[in-house]
A and B are shown apart, each in its own frame.
Chain A
Amino acid sequence: KAGVTQTPRYLIKTRGQQVTLSCSPISGHRSVSWYQQTPGQGLQFLFEYFSETQRNKGNFPGRFSGRQFSNSRSEMNVSTLELGDSALYLCASSLETGGLYGYTFGSGTRLTVV
């Protein structure tokens, strides 16, 4: 069965621009979580969506936002990009919210802000 699909794989943006990343979870999975990974901070939780509702949110500024559609696909948006937003963005899907069933990760989107 298909895994978690993230698009695009790579992005280069200029400071001040905005960007939208997409994540399609495993079929049947209703929870989608987003993470930012950088060499200095490691993996940091951004937010989790379940049934089109944001269930949890990490400690990131309001420039980071997301949404989930009725088919469980999720998008993450970052506005007014800063150099420090350069990172690997990973999404993970799970059957239900709460993490009881563990998480399956996508391959990530590598965002470079110049």
Chain B
Amino acid sequence: KQEVTQIPAALSVPEGENLVLNCSFTDSAIYNLQWFRQDPGKGLTSLLLIQSSQREQTSGRLNASLDKSSGRSTLYIAASQPGDSATYLCAVHNNNDMRFGAGTRLTVKP
């Protein structure tokens, strides 16, 4: 059974800092991995989707990497802004099953 862990559970940084969020999974036989952000009480917004054959994906200030063999993914946020404050979730998809991590709650202070 796939288990997904996100570290840290919460992170607070000053505006402008670069930061890394971590996601680890136990079963490396994945189809893809998707990063989402969730604002309080809202749905999930997709940030990046990495297929199992890819090593990384980039969108604007965001860069996500995937290392299947070690069961890890990172989400790098450059030049953080207060608007980046949200909970970030990674979801790992394999064998018709998608598992979410518990998320990292990010606060970017002005």
Contacts and interface: CB of A to CB of B under 8 A. Distances in A.
Interface of A: 4, 6, 33, 42-43, 45, 48, 55-56, 88, 90, 92, 97-108, 110
Nearest to A48: B96
A102 B44 CA distance: 12
B26 interface: no
Contacts of A43: 89, 100
Contacts of B83: none
Interface in B24-42: 31-32, 34, 36, 41-42
Nearest to A56: B96
A95 to B, nearest CB: 12
B96 A42 contact: no
Given A104-B46, A105-B36, 18 more contacts: A43-B89, A45-B97, A45-B98, A45-B99, A48-B96, A56-B96, A88-B41, A97-B96, A98-B31, A99-B93, A100-B31, A100-B51, A103-B34, A105-B45, A105-B46, A107-B42, A107-B43, A110-B41
Contacts of B11: none
B43 to A, nearest CB: 4
Interface string B89-103: 101010011111011
Contacts of B36: 105
Interface residues of B, number: 22
B13 interface: no
Interface in B75-110: 89, 91, 93, 96-100, 102-103
Contacts, number: 51
Given A43-B100, A99-B98, A108 B43 contact: yes
A24 to B, nearest CB: 14
B36 to A, nearest CB: 7
Contacts of B93: 99
A101 B91 CA distance: 13
Contact of A105 (B31, B43, B49): B43
